[in-house]
Structure 1
């Protein structure tokens, strides 16, 4: 049986060989990247929040990897905690935690199958009973690695997890992106983001990897109490090549306005060289755009790698 194909969900132009070559040659010099990365604050093995009733929070583990804390439920999103990934040099900054020092996890959420979001070496170190939530047609990938509790979701589908105050809903939502791990599986697995909602309706949104798009208004219409959003701000240059698959800092700040979210955690920067902008430019530009938009500087949750913040 031929597996499903999600090309019909694409509204982005994917890079061809010429574009990929241009992207590769745009990368900053490795020495410059590592010099800049040395200025990124890292607090490995910092104390973690204690899961509790009514609490919402985020721990940034580097790149798009994060722990989300919602009413006593702890979910791990896009864990990439190994020294490097295929197609990129060794990571510029260490992960915020090792697999061995992760807290008890209620579920792992995978936004899509790109190597900087789905890392086999990290999953090899996780118990095979770990619950995994991912997009359609992703379960076979994990079952081949002997994971026993894998749930596939379509956009706008959700599952419940028991929280301290009631059921916490975990919903897979659209993103403007794509998927591929090999030359023959382009768009075979569905990509997306995650909204984790507490019993009282307050929510945390992790966008995964995405360009700006009209789907954000649909998410906002469906989830009217997103309190914290982890939004990607890096891997956007050259802009003509990447605007259809990655937000830039200005678009991330605009997305916060569309979502009606007050607090934003900038992610998807400072860990790997994946594009042409200097390593520190994403966070510096995000700060400028945040202030230009008139938002409270304290609501830009600029976490150190390994750092946490909660409501």
Structure 2
């Protein structure tokens, strides 16, 4: 497994012409704590929804920007590239403009570490002198670890994030999938398992997982994602970020193909993986969406899962705690 050590003290600004002098996370509109009765001072993980699928995860000073997109259709966004806090790495599910837009292409520092899929790496590193220079590709079920460079060593271990590619698929099996494989109209995609925990201070494969986050990415509920619980038996997930929208191409007026889960489909990974908490994202920012958040809410109520969902608005913050020495099976 590949290891990448990151020093939050020296990782620098996320963009080439960064104008925000603050390294702090954005001030949240609302903070929701998990479990709900936990005091905020006992949390050490912050998750901020910027908009669409763009989110920021902070753990022990290490910040990951997920699926960055600064262009928007309905003016929901509250963070632009110059307003980002210090970012240490990017997690990119696939190379598509609503997850990595043209403004990102132009603004992000070329040396910023990016963890993504092989197809996206090919695209990001084939831009001549504008290529990104620290791109790491993970295929399904491949992992790498981001170790935090810190003097905060506990029991010979230091904070670490293990990232594993999870299966995802935009196009269902059949003739359209065969045609897309030839034409490449819809790019390949994946999801992520992000494990927060502690690793041996020396270069080692030993990793004690304290918390596990599943990010569905833009996928349909086809056979590939159903392999996830088979490989993660008895591994607790909390929270799950599920991409909704029922995204259609070319659009709702001519919905020839749905390429992300609609409200009804999105309940299926909740039932399959049984996460403690599900947070819906990616559902109302573009006119290609055929299934809005209300469809998901209705499906959740019908499935009797309302008490396992947390709804975040833009710039809302979700906080929880990873305790050292209290580990789950990894």
TM-score of the two chains, using structure 1 as the length reference = 0.70
State which of 257, 277, 284 in structure 2 corresponds to 1:263.
277
User: How far 1:241 moved relative to its partner?
Assistant: 3.5
Bigger RCO of structures 1 and 2 (CA < 8 A, at least 6 apart)? 1
Shift of 1:296: 4.0
By how many angstroms is 1:215 displaced? 2.9
Alpha-carbon contact 2:143-2:164 (below 8 Å) kept: yes
Task: Give the equivalent residue in structure 2 for 1:159.
Answer: 144
Checking the alignment, whether the CA contact within 8 Å between 1:235 and 1:268 is kept in structure 2 is: no
Instruction: Give the 3-state SS of the residue equivalent to 1:171 in structure 2.
Output: strand
- Equivalent runs, 1:269-284 vs 2, <5 Å: 269-277=283-291, 282-284=292-294
Distance 1:152 1:126, change over 3 A: same
Q: State the secondary structure of the residue aligned to 1:310.
A: strand
CA distance in 2, matches of 1:70, 1:217: 28
Are the equivalent residues in 1 in contact too, given 2:277–2:309 (CA < 8 A)?
yes
SS of residue paired to 1:138: helix
The C-alpha deviation readout for 1:221-261, integer Å capped at 9, x for no partner, is 33422101111121346697434x22111211121121121
Contact 1:64 1:117 in 2 (8 A): yes
Question: CA separation in 2, counterparts of 1:276 and 1:250?
Answer: 12
Say yes or no: does 1:150 pair with 2:160: no
Matches within 5 A, 1:159-308: 159-163=144-148, 165-177=158-170, 186=184, 190-199=188-197, 200-223=209-232, 224-236=235-247, 241-243=256-258, 245-277=259-291, 282-297=292-307, 299-308=308-317
Contact 2:96–2:187 (CA under 8 A) maintained in structure 1: no
| Distance across 1 between alignment mates of 2:317 and 2:63 | 13
Consecutive aligned runs of 4 or more in structure 1 exceeding 6 Å deviation: none
Once the 2 structures are TM-superposed, how far is the Cα of residue 266 of structure 1 from its aligned partner? 1.0
Query: Which of these residues, 37, 43, 50, is aligned with residue 61 of structure 1?
Result: 50
Aligned with residue 112 of structure 1, among 94, 97, 121: 94
| SS of match in other structure, 1:242 | strand
Q: Matched residues in 2 for 1:261 and 1:71: separation?
A: 23
Looking at CA atoms only, which structure, 1 or 2, has the larger radius of gyration?
2
| Structure 1 gaps, min length 5 | 1-44, 84-90
1:294 Cα shift? 1.6
**Paired residue total:** 251
**Alpha-carbon distance in 1 for matches of 2:210, 2:230:** 13
TM-score norm. by structure 2 comes to 0.67
RMSD, aligned α-carbons? 3.2
Answering whether residue 27 of structure 2 is matched by residue 46 of structure 1, we say yes
Give the Cα separation in 2 of the matches to 1:54 and 1:276: 37
Aligned partner of residue 239 in structure 2, secondary structure: strand
Question: Within 1, Cα distance between the matches of 2:317 and 2:237?
Answer: 18
The structure with the greater share of residues assigned to helix is 1
Q: Which has the higher strand share?
A: 2
Deviation at 1:119, TM superposition (A): 0.8
Gaps of 5+ in 2: 1-25, 32-40, 153-157, 172-176, 198-208, 321-330
Does residue 74 (structure 1) correspond to residue 63 (structure 2)? The answer is: yes
1:111: how far off? Answer: 1.0
Cα distance in 1 between the residues matched to 2:75 and 2:160: 36
Q: Tell me which residue corresponds to 2:3.
A: none
